[in-house]
Amino acid sequence: MRTLQEQILAYVPANDTEAQDKKEFLEQWTLLGDVFLQRPDVGHVTVSAMVLNPAMDAMLMVYHNIYQSLSWTGGHADGSQALLQKAVEEAREETGIQELIPLSSGILSLDKLPVKAHTRRGKPVAAHWHYNITYGFLASDRQPLAIKPDENSQVCWVSLQNWKERCSEPHMIPVYEKILTRMQHQMQEKQQRYALLPEVLLPWYDKHARVLPWRQDKDPYHIWLSEIMLQQTRVEAVKGYYQRFLQQLPDIAALAAAPENQLLKLWEGLGYYSRVRNLQKAAKIIMEQYDGQFPADYAAIRALPGIGDYTAGAIASICFDAPTPAVDGNVLRVVSRITENFANVLSPAVKKQMAEALTAVYPTGEKAYTFNQSLMELGATVCLPGGAPKCTVCPLCQWCLAYARDSWDVLPQKAAKKQRRIEEKTVFVLQCGPHIAVQKRPASGLLAGLWQFPNIEGNLDTQKALDQAAAWDVKPTAIEKVVQGKHIFTHIQWHMTCYYLQCEKPNDSFFWADAAMLQEQIALPTAFKQFLE
């Protein structure tokens, strides 16, 4: 994100008055230093938030007791240079609204505004100037409102059709009009970026698309399998799994008929095993209800087990040339940055809005498939997550609002995830001769129905670990070693202590597998396979 000084320098005045206000702002900051951001008597920095509802037909206003008028939300900088965040804090404090989405990271307006003499908390305040910086926001008008009793006596949404009648400060009306016009212009800018996407990305994709195994044809089974495998998994990791899976299960009929052990072994190490179970459930439905032919209708595809909006859109567009968006993490990142959209991309409503905006610009025929692929390809190879995007080689660079305003590093916005729950586990690799003890996990819950090494909750010390093995009646003779490990699931993190024990007696409660079985037949999830030598 740009610093405040960079934002001020990037701000382009629209007329001589604005140019003079910008000049004075920079002069005062140079003269006073950061004291200017505090509250010097003659003039100081304030920040305001102009908040509109999503329909952009009403604005949020508060009745400021000092000005005796309905006006925007805002307050003093009080030393902060993070004025965008300061605007959010002030709006929340004065109105009770919690969810505000910046329309842009850039300054909407910089204005020198007069403040008449007044009293504050019983003390006189002389007339002075506010060098006010305004940012624009969108907020749902369904959120609860609350006043700040010591300063405000009313909070309300005011229709843009009659807001001037509610404002009793004539000198502010031109400022509000200017800002409202600029917010409308910013929204138009965002919509224009969507329209540009097919025009720019289609020729780029033709030249820069990676050669991937699942791009060699448009067979729905191949595309479906690859899309399910690619969920939560890197492309390079999927390539080998994809080819091995198709070698053993070359079509939907083979997938539907595959025994569970074979299915889970083919998926071993990919994680999220419900994906492969849903693959088989869907394959059986296709065999029974569609005579083994993958359905071509989006709604029918979406109704299959394990297929969500994104996967259904990908299959429909890639295989059947349907103009249906496939909005995955890559697409959300690209669109968020191109349009500088600060909405939470994990919100289903935001995903739906982006999908609808993309649908409106989708090309028809085979270009629908290429357009979907191009968006995903740009996110995977250029507009990268977790680091600096490759803006210098991006075909959308000159139209990207996040690039222009240097806000790519805070986009896309994601609501904070809940902290993972940590669970301690003690794992046992029990070996009797060439055999190692394994057991099946319960049929429901985490890693349902998969194999595991015997384990119990908690972190046992050496003696308690030996006592536990003795309680299983495997007659432990020696501890070969103790290894620490961990495994991260979506909502849980396992901290694991693994004891390698030599035993004299196999226990009928466990299944004792040799090395060949562990390698070829038994599917151990990664959480336990890390302890297999």
CATH number, domain of 86, equals 3.90.79.10
Q: Is 294 in the same domain as 320?
A: yes
Q: Considering its fold, how many domains does the chain have in total?
A: 3
Do 96 and 90 contact (CB within 8 A), yes or no? no
What is the dihedral sign for C-alpha 212, 216, 222, 224? positive
SS3 content of the chain, % helix, strand, coil (to 5): 45, 20, 35
Q: What is the CATH number of the domain that holds 208?
A: 1.10.340.30
Q: What is the pLDDT of residue 153?
A: 82
The answer to whether position 442 is within a domain reads yes
What is the dihedral sign for C-alpha 314, 316, 319, 325? negative
The segments of the chain whose pLDDT lies below 70 read 121, 533
Q: Any catalytic annotation for residue 227?
A: yes
The residue annotated as part of the active site, out of 90, 94, 227, 340, is 227
Q: What pTM did the predictor assign?
A: 0.85
Q: What is the pLDDT of residue 148?
A: 83
Q: Is 113 in the same domain as 216?
A: no
Q: Is 129 in the same domain as 265?
A: no
Contacts 24+ apart (CB under 8 A), 110-117: 110/8, 110/11, 110/13, 110/18, 110/21, 110/22, 110/25, 110/134, 111/18, 111/21, 111/175, 112/20, 112/21, 112/24, 112/25, 112/43, 113/171, 113/172, 113/175, 114/171
Question: What Cα–Cα distance (Å) separates residue 393 from each residue in 201, 307, 329, 378?
Answer: 13, 34, 20, 10
In terms of Cα–Cα distance, which of 176, 69, 155 is closest to 115?
A: 69
Q: What is the pLDDT of residue 492?
A: 94
C-alpha 78/C-alpha 35 separation (Å) is: 9
The answer to whether position 173 is within a domain reads no
Q: What is the pLDDT of residue 117?
A: 79
Structural domain including 406 reads 193-410
55-69 pLDDT per residue, tens: 999 999 998 877 778
519 phi and psi angles, rounded to 5 deg: -80, -40
Q: Is 30 in the same domain as 155?
A: yes
Residue 95 Ramachandran class (φ > 0 left, ψ -120 to 50 alpha, else beta): alpha
C-alpha 417/C-alpha 365 separation (Å) is: 39
